[in-house]
Amino acid sequence: MPALRSAFIALSRNRVLRNFCENSRIGTQLSARFIAGLEIADALRVAEALNRQELAVTLDSLGESVTSEADAHHAAEIYHQLLDLITARKLNAHISVKLTQLGLELSPALAESIALSLVRHAQATGNFVRIDMEDSNLTQVTLDIVRRVHAHSDARGSIGVVIQAYLYRSQADVEQLIADGIRIRLCKGAYKEPPEVAFPDKADVDSNFILLGCMLLDSSIHHALATHDEAMIAAINAYAQQHQIVPSSFEFQMLYGIKRDLQRKLVREGYNVRVYVPFGRDWYPYFMRRLAERPANILFLAKNYFRS
Ligand code: FDA
């Protein structure tokens, strides 16, 4: 299985396959299980439907590693529109953004200034920007930018970040972010990382997820536990019950199209659940990471495709 995971992650960077998939009908049909659609209107429709089921949402306008300043500004423009549309339609929705989509690899200063303007807009409209975490080469620069943006009085509290339990450094990062009062989304981590920086064994990643998750619950900050793993969810809930931590003080997050029954079950049990809803034409790298997490998805998608 680790070999298949690596193969899908390597394929997620293949330009030829990406062009073919993103521009073919079969590619778009297969990805529909995990992607809300190609347009903003699709994302809003899905968000409304999820909100009706008492599921909160975070919207991801797909795209990463832009190669021009104009593309970085274009990506930001879509997020500014989303913030206004969320307010206008009274949606229970945040936005999730990747700094490489805002030009991080061209110029960290460019990404920081675009992120700051998004977070100021979010604060002015009572919203929130989550900065997704990408591969470990970008961890430090991402955390530095999040801290500097959070330090502005008109942005404080309206930006949060993601921590990946597979990285050895994450415990120290969690301690620092909690001290700074910054909201964290904890996940296991979706990129291929070398054993010098990340736990190679799933069991160690899972133990670290629980350790860090309990640290988040102990802080007085509203954090998010992003996982579909029922063992992780049970461990977090057991810790919360033992320590009289009320469910309203944290939230679970899951990806659109994955473990939908579990999402609804947790809501029925009184937990906050937020669904990460990706949309847009640049869906290929995101889609390939979902296949890497569970290679059996490819059979599942193929079966459904030929049945329809
Ligand atoms: P695990 O991989 O152990 O899966 C547990 C079970 O969940 C599986 O047995 C299967 O049943 C189901 N499952 C998991 N993934 C599935 C899939 N793709 N298809 C179908 N079933 C699946 N990562 C990152 O590096 N940076 C980030 O910013 C984010 N952001 C983020 C936001 C949110 C809301 C979520 C839920 C996840 C992320 N991730 C992420 C991805 C995360 O790091 C991780 O790769 C996936 O969540 C899979 O890990 P699980 O915790 O679900 O456990």
pLDDT at residue 175 in the model: 98
Compute the distance between CA of residue 119 and CA of residue 224 in angstroms, rounded to an integer: 19
How many angstroms does the Cα of residue 242 sit away from the middle of ligand 1? Answer: 26
Place 305 in a pLDDT band, splitting at 50, 70 and 90.
Answer: low
pLDDT at residue 299 in the model: 78
In the residue annotation, 132 being an active-site residue is answered as yes
In the residue annotation, 120 being an active-site residue is answered as no
How many angstroms does the Cα of residue 228 sit away from the middle of ligand 1? Answer: 6
How many angstroms does the Cα of residue 20 sit away from the middle of ligand 1? Answer: 26
pLDDT in tens, 204-217: 999 999 999 999 99
Nearest CA to ligand 1 atom 28: 132
In 3D, which of 136, 200, 196, 127 has the Cα closest to residue 163? 136
Helix and strand element counts for the chain (H, E): 13, 8
Contact 46, 39 (CB under 8 A): no
For 255-259, the CB contacts below 8 A with 24+ separation are 255/34, 255/228, 255/290, 256/34, 256/35, 256/36, 256/46, 257/33, 257/34, 258/34, 258/228, 258/290, 259/228
Catalytic-labelled residue, pool 185, 274, 289, 290: 185
As for ligand 1, residues whose beta carbon falls within 6 Å of it are 132-133, 162, 164, 187-191, 226-229, 253-255, 258-259, 276, 290, 293-294, 297
How many angstroms does the Cα of residue 104 sit away from the middle of ligand 1? Answer: 24
Catalytic-labelled residue, pool 132, 173, 206, 282: 132
Residue 40 burial by Cβ neighbours in a 10 Å radius (0-12, 13-18, 19+): middle
Q: What percent of the chain has pLDDT over 70?
A: 98
* Mean pLDDT to the nearest integer, 276-281: 96
Nearest CA to ligand 1 atom 7: 228
Point out the ligand 1 atom lying closest to the alpha carbon of residue 187. Answer: 43
**CA 226 vs CA 20, 35, 254, 262, 278: distances in Å:** 31, 18, 6, 13, 15
Ordered structural domains, the chain, with CATH: 36-282 (3.20.20.220)
